[in-house]
Amino acid sequence: MTAPADLLSPALEAVVLRFAGMVRAVGRRHGLEESDLDEVIQDVRIRLWRARESGERIAGSPSSYVYQTARSATLDLVRRRRGRGGRPEVVALDPGGGDLAGHDGPDRAMEDSELAEAVFRAVEALMDSRRRVVRLHLLGYESAEIAGLLGWSGGKTRNLLSRGLADLRERLRELGVGPGGLQ
């Protein structure tokens, strides 16, 4: 195999590589499919290459250019998926190595299914502000990210998250879900 072709300037290629590394890190944290990330990263390179070939000058801030290109590439990927009727893979965070499929037989699977519904219903029953922050927390977002998404201060976010999680555990106890599962 030969070395990769030098199609972008070294400076721009370096930015693309750095961006690719960051995208993969974020993508892995949120359980995104590698193929999705590959598609976005490759699309970014293609668009940059096309811009260069068409004589566009990527000057000033190559980082900004790369990120804006990534933004449009990602949006187009989602649109293409929708157009094809495709459904993205379920985003499964893996905060503790949990296995969503379960391998302990049908009884365990049934219990997990019931537990999952119980957790979902318990979250649904939380008051609005606490429900949103708890949902985001359960989906793996950190406090700072949640604060940004909700437009809240860090203190408010941490406070409502703490109260929301306490409420959630209380509701689960009421539903008969204890530390070990259904009771």
Site for other proteins in 52-71 (CB under 8 A): 53-54, 56, 58, 60-61, 63-71
Strand partners, 178: 181
Name residues contacting other proteins, limited to 69-98 (CB under 8 A): 69-79, 81-82, 84, 87-93, 95-98
Nearer to other proteins, 140 or 159 (CB): 140
| Rounded (5°) CA angle 37-41-42 | 115
Q: Is 126 left (phi over 0), alpha (psi -120 to 50) or beta?
A: beta
**Which positions from 13 to 42 touch other proteins by CB under 8 A, shown as an x/- string?**
------x--xx--xx--x-x-xxxxxxx-x
Contact 7, 46 (CB under 8 A): no
Q: Rounded distance, CA 140 to CA 26, Å?
A: 12
Interface with other proteins includes 45 (CB under 8 A)? yes
Interface with other proteins includes 160 (CB under 8 A)? no
Among 16, 132, 157, 161, binds other proteins (CB under 8 A): 132
Interface with other proteins includes 113 (CB under 8 A)? yes
Name residues contacting other proteins, limited to 134-153 (CB under 8 A): 135-136, 138-140, 148-151
Among 14, 120, 153, 162, binds other proteins (CB under 8 A): 120
Least distance to other proteins, CB of residue 114, Å: 10
Q: Rounded distance, CA 169 to CA 162, Å?
A: 11
Q: Rounded distance, CA 176 to CA 166, Å?
A: 15
| C-alpha torsion 155→156→158→159, nearest 10 | 110
Nearer to other proteins, 98 or 155 (CB): 98
Interface with other proteins includes 117 (CB under 8 A)? yes
Amino acid at 168: L
Nearer to other proteins, 68 or 153 (CB): 68
Q: Rounded distance, CA 117 to CA 107, Å?
A: 15
